[in-house]
Structure formats: structure tokens, C-alpha cells
């Protein structure tokens, strides 16, 4: 993958450069902001054992993102309510969002005792996967589509930790619609120095319409991630999280860990107690 981190004199200067790139994008074409991956504006977030980069794959609130959002709303088939549930510490709970899985033939994704088999790729998802692959340099074979109807919908803090998940491939998250926070919380060894504890305090990234975020290794090993409840949010958000699973047949991936649980332990990933705005 190629990154260009440019040192700007001011935020305004950086914004101006990004604006020029945005203007270069034909509004009607479903191509990313910068198809050749040159001079892409990436923002880097780095903490102890955390490396996350994000960029605008599409201009925010643009004709492009609105068209993609509408196609997703019309074409994605979410799990029926009786299947959309998770088992947490032995008890079943309704999934606090809608969810669908698409991917290569034979791939399925299992978390909290639920298996999400891959439906065959539909054109809009295959097209977005190809764009994400082009800018990330990673081949993905599975995507989870999460639909958060309002800010009451959420994902509890968890790590994606099943061995079938290729640990060398970043998890790619592409967002459309409402802005929601992605919250990272450190779950590694207890910190001793002030510098270390600053480096491991929880951090939020606002995931905006059209934004692509890459959660690079070893982040998923040492940090929980979640989409906390945001009571004030009344709009729909749809996220596509692309993953690479090691096997394309009979593979599965899991989500483990929750508030108060140790890293790597099977735990309550979707019913955790979460902060609200």
C-alpha cells in the first residue's frame, strides 16, 4: 500500500489540498476521490499497539454517497429478526442493529454463537470491495453490512479474534449516512508510566459518510472497538466492514471480549454497557 503523509503548514492548507482533490472527482461517477491513489489525504492515528488510518473514499454528503446509500438501502437483505440475535454469557439477546453477510462462496462468519453465512456478492458490494482493495492493496473475501437505524443501535466493545481472520490484513470499514463514533479501548497489559497511560487512553474516531478506515495489525489484538449508543442521532448509518478470512470454505471468525472481560476470552460483545452521548 502507498501512503503519502504530507506536512502542511496549517489545517487550512491541508484542507485546500483536499478540496482540490475533491473537485477533481466527477460527482456523477462512482469512482473514489482519487482513483490512482496518488496524494491521497490519509489521517494517521497511532497509540501503543494501535495503528489506524482513514481517508475520504468518497466526498462526504455527495451525490455519490447518496446514490450508494440508496442502493444499499434497496438491495441489502438483512438477517430476519428471529436470526438476528446473539448469545451472551449463555443468554440470547436481540441484535441491537441489522446485519447481513456477503462474501466468497463457502465463507461464513461466526460470533457470539451465531453464524453469518456469506450471501453471494451483489454488484454494489462487489464494486465497493474492489475500490477498497485498490486503495488498501488487500484482497477481501467477506463483508459484514451493519445498519444502525438510529443512535440507539450500537455494537458493544469487542475484538475480532477468531483464528480464521487473517491477522496480517487490516479490517476495512467503509461508512455511509449518519456520523457515528468508533471507540477504541485498550485491553493490553496495565500501564505503569504516565506516558504509557496517555498512550492507552480510550480514543474516538468520528466515522463520516464516505469515510474509509483501516484498522491495521496489531490494533485488533490489543484494543477493543465499539460503536457506542448516541441518543441524539436520529439518522441511519450503514457500515461495510471488509475482512479477509484465511479459508474460503468452512471458515469462521468470532468476536470476543467485553467490558470487564480479559483479552481473548469469549464474552458479551453486543449487549455490553455502553456510554451514551
Ligand X SMILES: O=C(O)CCC(=O)C(=O)O
Other CB atoms within a 10 A radius of the CB of residue 266 amount to 18
Least separation, in Å, of the C-beta of 182 and ligand X?
6
Judged by CB under 6 A, the chain residues 180 through 209 that form the site for ligand X are: 182, 207
β-strand partners of 110: 115
Least separation, in Å, of the C-beta of 193 and ligand X?
30
Nearer to ligand X, 87 or 196 (CB): 87
Least separation, in Å, of the C-beta of 38 and ligand X?
27
Least separation, in Å, of the C-beta of 148 and ligand X?
7
160 binds ligand X (CB under 6 A): yes
125 binds ligand X (CB under 6 A): no
Nearer to ligand X, 25 or 255 (CB): 255
Burial per residue of 186-224, b for 16 or more beta-carbon CB atoms within 10 angstroms, e otherwise = bbeeeeeeeeeeeebeebebebbbbbbbbbbeebbbbbb
Judged by CB under 6 A, the chain residues 226 through 245 that form the site for ligand X are: 227, 239, 241
The one among 25, 65, 136, 173 contacting ligand X by CB under 6 A? 173
Position with the least CB separation from ligand X: 239
220 binds ligand X (CB under 6 A): no
Nearer to ligand X, 25 or 220 (CB): 220
Three-state secondary structure call for residue 15: helix
146 binds ligand X (CB under 6 A): yes
Nearer to ligand X, 49 or 239 (CB): 239
Least separation, in Å, of the C-beta of 150 and ligand X?
14
Least separation, in Å, of the C-beta of 173 and ligand X?
4
Rounded Cα gap, residues 59 and 174, in angstroms: 13
64 binds ligand X (CB under 6 A): no
Rounded Cα gap, residues 209 and 46, in angstroms: 22
40 binds ligand X (CB under 6 A): no
For cell 475482512, what's the residue?
243
Rounded Cα gap, residues 199 and 211, in angstroms: 25
Other CB atoms within a 10 A radius of the CB of residue 167 amount to 13
161 binds ligand X (CB under 6 A): no
The DSSP secondary structure of 57-110, one letter per residue, reads SS-TT-HHHHHHHHHHHHH--PPPTTT-EEEETTEEEE-SSEEEEEESTT-EEE
Rounded Cα gap, residues 49 and 223, in angstroms: 8
Residues that bind ligand X (CB under 6 A): 144, 146, 155, 160, 173, 182, 207, 225, 227, 239, 241
Amino acid at each position: 500500500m502507498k501512503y503519502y503523509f504530507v506536512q502542511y503548514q496549517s489545517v487550512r492548507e491541508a484542507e485546500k489540498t483536499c478540496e482540490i482533490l475533491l473537485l477533481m472527482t466527477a460527482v456523477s461517477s462512482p469512482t473514489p476521490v482519487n482513483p490512482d491513489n496518488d496524494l491521497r489525504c490519509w489521517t494517521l492515528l497511532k497509540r501503543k499497539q494501535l495503528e489506524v488510518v482513514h481517508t475520504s473514499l468518497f466526498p462526504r454528503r455527495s451525490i455519490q454517497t447518496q446514490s450508494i446509500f440508496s442502493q444499499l438501502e434497496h438491495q441489502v437483505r438483512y438477517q430476519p429478526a428471529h436470526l438476528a440475535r446473539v448469545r451472551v454469557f449463555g443468554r440470547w439477546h436481540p441484535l441491537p442493529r441489522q446485519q447481513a453477510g456477503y462474501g466468497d462462496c463457502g465463507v461464513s462468519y461466526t460470533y457470539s454463537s451465531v453464524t453469518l453465512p456469506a450471501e453471494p456478492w451483489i454488484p454494489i458490494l462487489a464494486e465497493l470491495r474492489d475500490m477498497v482493495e485498490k486503495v488498501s492493496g488487500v484482497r477481501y473475501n467477506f463483508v459484514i453490512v451493519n445498519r444502525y437505524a438510529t443512535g440507539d443501535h450500537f455494537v458493544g466493545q469487542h475484538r475480532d479474534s477468531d483464528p480464521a481472520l487473517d491477522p496480517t490484513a487490516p479490517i476495512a470499514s467503509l461508512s455511509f449516512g449518519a456520523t457515528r463514533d468508533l471507540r477504541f479501548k485498550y485491553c493490553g497489559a496495565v500501564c505503569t508510566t504516565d506516558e504509557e497511560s496517555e498512550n492507552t487512553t480510550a480514543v474516538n474516531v468520528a466515522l463520516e459518510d464516505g469515510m474509509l478506515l483501516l484498522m491495521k495489525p496489531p490494533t485488533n489484538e490489543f484494543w477493543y472497538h465499539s460503536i457506542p449508543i448516541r441518543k441524539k442521532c436520529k439518522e441511519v448509518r450503514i457500515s461495510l466492514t471488509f475482512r479477509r478470512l484465511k479459508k474460503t470454505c468452512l471458515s469462521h471468525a468470532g468476536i470476543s471480549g467485553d467490558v470487564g472481560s480479559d483479552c481473548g476470552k469469549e464474552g458479551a460483545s453486543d449487549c455490553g454497557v455502553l456510554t451514551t452521548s
